[in-house]
Amino acid sequence: MNDRTEAAAGGGWTLTTRVTALFALLACLVVTSLGIYLDDAARQALAQRADQALIGRVEHFRTLMQDLYNVEQMEQRPALFESMMGNEQDVRIFRRRNEAPFIQSNPDHLVPPPMEPLPVDQPVSAANLITSTRDDGVKVRWVSALADVGRGRGQGGDTVEIVAAYVMVQEARMMRSYRWRIAGAAAAAVLLTALLGFLLLRRGLQPLVAMSQRAAQITPDHLSARLEQDGMPAELRRVALSFNAMLDRLEAGYAHLAQFSGDLAHEIRTPINVLMGQSQVALGQRRSPEEYEQLLESNVEELQRLARIVENILFLAQADHATLAVECTQLDLSEELGKITDYFEGIADERGMRFELAAQGVCQANLIMWRRAVNNLVINAVRYGEPDSSIRIQAHSDDGGSRIIVENRSDDVTPHAMVRMFDRFYRGDLSRSAFTESNGLGLAIVKAIMALHRGTATVECPQPGWIRFTLSFPPAATLP
């Protein structure tokens, strides 16, 4: 997708545009901060140079005055002092204390600020300078110092006040030019940074664009498609791995749902076809009351079978969405398992099977669900166990929880079959399942009940010709 299509689909700026704008803003802040720092550094450097020039010239005036005989010599040679300032706008005023200036150069007629002259023996420093501002915003640095005329010749009769000012005209002009250059350089740097950032982002996000195009090809009919991982950056490779793992789970869930829907339709179709066929045959001609009664009894059996299927499916659906509340109580394993073996003893006798029970300890579980899970395992052992054999039921508990084991003799079961035994509508022996009228949901319900109790249900072959189902309930402290 191009940027315009991506923007329209996302309802705003694209990721490339957003990151470029943020990158340009960051570059603008950095460059502007650097420009402000450089401007301040240049301004301070120029101000320091101007202060040094002003201090140097005033000290030079003091030295010259020490070599003169008297003030009259200064009055006779004013050009010597007037030519010693750098700018034409600089101020030079020489006067006796509390008298009118006898040498004055002040082209802009600047008014000196109130200043206390420095004593003769105190050198001029930057701390003694005073700043004022002209009407055009140019800064002026002022200083006032006293000097003895003829002191160097041993006379030292007159004391002269020197008032000098440095007008920072050149510095102001240089700073204006410098600021324009900084602004131009900053603008060019921001634009260049934004352009290069945009190009680099477009190139760097190409794997993400390819990933999105690949993801757009994944549909319910093409769930086997996966995102490319080779050649991807490390960050996107982790995203691709997580996304592909999610697709694996979705594909498995979608296949399971499709298989479940097909199995459900098959299971419901059989009793419905039986009901329809028997009813149509009965309506084909007049029947006796006894025949109608037999038909109704047969239909009731099929309807009960449908009801059991619907009930089991509803239970599994509720278990999948965790909508069932599990209220656990303490169960005596020996007592409860004894009741179950007594209940199924008649069915087991019909096949010549007997129970071997060894149970002790207690179990924390929901009584109704616990009975349903164990009942399903026991009826499964009676249905699929070898005739004239034993069904072993063992149970014990400890600090790690409680375990219930149901074993029966059976044909050897393949590992693939054991993996699928807890799947819904799975039946390993179709002929025997048809005989026992199993709908393939018993073990799936067992697994769902154990999940609600945060336990596990496992199956294994402890030895050839035997199959073992184990229910492991956690301790009471870990139950919901």
As a whole number, the mean pLDDT across the chain is: 81
Backbone CA torsion sign across 153, 154, 157, 160: positive
- Predicted confidence band at 70 (pLDDT cuts at 50, 70, 90)? low
> Looking at residues 38-52, what average pLDDT do you find?
91
Q: Nearest CA to 443 among 392, 378, 355?
A: 378
3-state secondary structure of 292: helix
Q: How far apart are CA 175 and CA 137, in angstroms?
A: 13
Backbone CA torsion sign across 124, 126, 132, 137: positive
Residue 35 has pLDDT above 50, yes or no: yes
Residue 193 has pLDDT above 80, yes or no: yes
Using alpha carbons, list the distances in angstroms from residue 117 to 51, 183, 216. Answer: 17, 42, 85
Residue 5 has pLDDT above 50, yes or no: no
> How much of the chain, in percent, has pLDDT values that exceed 90?
22
- Predicted confidence band at 227 (pLDDT cuts at 50, 70, 90)? confident
Q: What is the pLDDT of residue 80?
A: 55
Q: Are strands 390-398 and 354-359 parallel, antiparallel or unpaired?
A: parallel
pTM for the predicted model, two decimal places: 0.49
Q: By the 8 A CB rule, do 270 and 309 touch?
A: no
| 24-33, 72-81, 422-431: range with highest mean pLDDT | 24-33
- Predicted confidence band at 420 (pLDDT cuts at 50, 70, 90)? confident
Per-residue model confidence as pLDDT tens digits over 269-294: 777 888 888 888 888 888 888 888 88
- Predicted confidence band at 353 (pLDDT cuts at 50, 70, 90)? very high
Q: What is the pLDDT of residue 355?
A: 93
Residue 393 has pLDDT above 90, yes or no: yes
Q: What is the pLDDT of residue 6?
A: 47
Lowest mean pLDDT among 35-39, 200-204, 354-358: 200-204
Per-residue model confidence as pLDDT tens digits over 135-188: 888 999 999 999 888 765 555 567 888 899 999 988 888 999 998 998 998 899
Q: Which distant-in-sequence residues (6+ apart) come within 8 Å of 96 by Cβ?
A: 71, 102, 158, 159, 160, 161
> Looking at residues 123-146, what average pLDDT do you find?
91
